[in-house]
Amino acid sequence: MKIVIIGAGEVGYHIAKALYQSNDVVVIDRNEEACERVDELDVHVIHGNGANASILQDVLDGAGLLVALTGSDEVNIVACMASKLIVKDKDKFKTVARVSNPDYIDKPVAKRPQIGIDIMVCPELSLASEVAQILAIPSAIDAEYFADGKVEMMEFVVPDDHSLVNKQMHELHLANCCIVSAIFRDSDVIIPHGGDTIKGNDHIVVIGKSSAMKEVRDLFGKKTGKRSKVMIIGGGVVGFYLAKLVAKSEFDLKVIESDKERSALIAEDLPGVLVLNGDGTDINLLKEEGVSEMDVVISVTNSDEKNLLCSLLAKQLGVKKVIARSDRSDYVSLFEMVGVDSAVSPRQATVNEVLKMTLGQGIESVTTLEGEKAEIIEYIASKKSKIVGKPLKNLKFPPGSIVSMVVHKGNTVVPRGEYVIEDGDRVVVFVMQSAIEDVEKFFK
């Protein structure tokens, strides 16, 4: 596919990096340094304004997808609208716009075909939703849903002193509708078997039927039964939306925001939430507000450095779990290396939506894990798919991948070797980066 990317910032660069090997990629950006960075990839780079109709006219011939990712919502929207007017075969041409202003979008992902935007993504709202899911499962560091909520993925960290350390996988005794799809251990990705041993600090990915995942949560860390105390540092788009989600749940919530007017606005919109006007890096303020009694502190300001500092201060003062926003993807592993329990990036939602539109037919959703080491992809099998009509054990599925879950006519099952996938089944596959292209072939 020919893909035009407008914006060579953090998100644009990573999308280009993920797609250039198997697609014809064109990147447009006004920033010369950003152009130089993305030029290291085998892509066509244009230094200019991505909303300029004459530039779009030159590059859109034969294009199947345009992704607008600049820091300006208006530029992204105009670029998508103009592109739809320029291309001749509109049915085969799709557009994706990154939008952050709540005036334009009120949920993480929306469709606006009436104005020329097939997919509108708000990374900030997506990030807030992701953090809210993690909060709902105290022992987890990541959580995603598939097949309209019928399938759930959770990622847990096994503490060094946990009772599971040194046990073998078959000793977990998970329900029949749950499966451990992967273990992330240091830099390794392991697709486990019954005899594999669990070690301290392992990141374990469990996929299962949503209704059966309660016992999995208990296995990796039980809830205390009391209301969890949560503090959010930063009341911007992410912090405000997250506070709205958390306020609906069983949490005692405090929000710290440095801007006085913004603090007043949040307090007015969320009357049941204690909003404090102050600096989240002020250790005296944190002590006064009882940060040591918090179960979770989430730092989601617009500064990666401030988020890291707030998180480490909270951890030093005795907070059990700290979550930090990191806009720069190369900071995510660094944050977790120095003590942040979960570092989350707003760019991943946009990357996932674009990958879903480019990886192939039948893809319903894509989730990237552990800094792009692996993906969980939800496919919808069709009559033409090679995976349909044969027992899984006869298919020679590529190494580095596993069919984790199948939803057949509303029923969720962990498929064994004898299982036969049928037309219309939703198939959730865990796959390492090296095996994605081979897995794709089974669903074409």
Query: Does the pLDDT at position 139 exceed 80?
Result: no
pLDDT confidence of residue 243: 92
| Separation between Cα atoms, residue 282 and residue 278, nearest integer Å | 8
pLDDT confidence of residue 361: 56
For residue 380, give the nearest of 350, 360, 353 by alpha carbon: 360
How big is the CA angle at 43 (ends 38 and 48), to the nearest 5 degrees? 65
H or E stretch at 313:
helix 304-316
> Residue 118, SS3?
strand
pLDDT digits (tens, 9 = 90+) for 291-322: 999 989 999 999 999 999 999 999 999 998 89
Residue 223's pLDDT band (boundaries 50, 70, 90)? low
Query: Does the pLDDT at position 221 exceed 70?
Result: no
E strand spans, 174-300? 178-185, 188-190, 203-209, 228-233, 251-257, 274-277, 296-299
pLDDT digits (tens, 9 = 90+) for 154-193: 888 888 888 889 999 988 888 778 899 999 988 888 989 8
| Separation between Cα atoms, residue 139 and residue 157, nearest integer Å | 8
pLDDT digits (tens, 9 = 90+) for 116-128: 899 898 888 888 8
To which residue do tokens 């959770």 refer?
154
| Separation between Cα atoms, residue 89 and residue 80, nearest integer Å | 15
Q: What average pLDDT does the structure give for the chain?
A: 87
| Separation between Cα atoms, residue 348 and residue 351, nearest integer Å | 5
- Kindly list the structural domains of the chain, giving each domain's residue range(s) and its CATH number in brackets, ordered by start: 2-121 (3.40.50.720), 228-345 (3.40.50.720), 351-441 (3.30.70.1450)
| Separation between Cα atoms, residue 386 and residue 83, nearest integer Å | 36
Task: Write down the pTM of the prediction.
Answer: 0.74
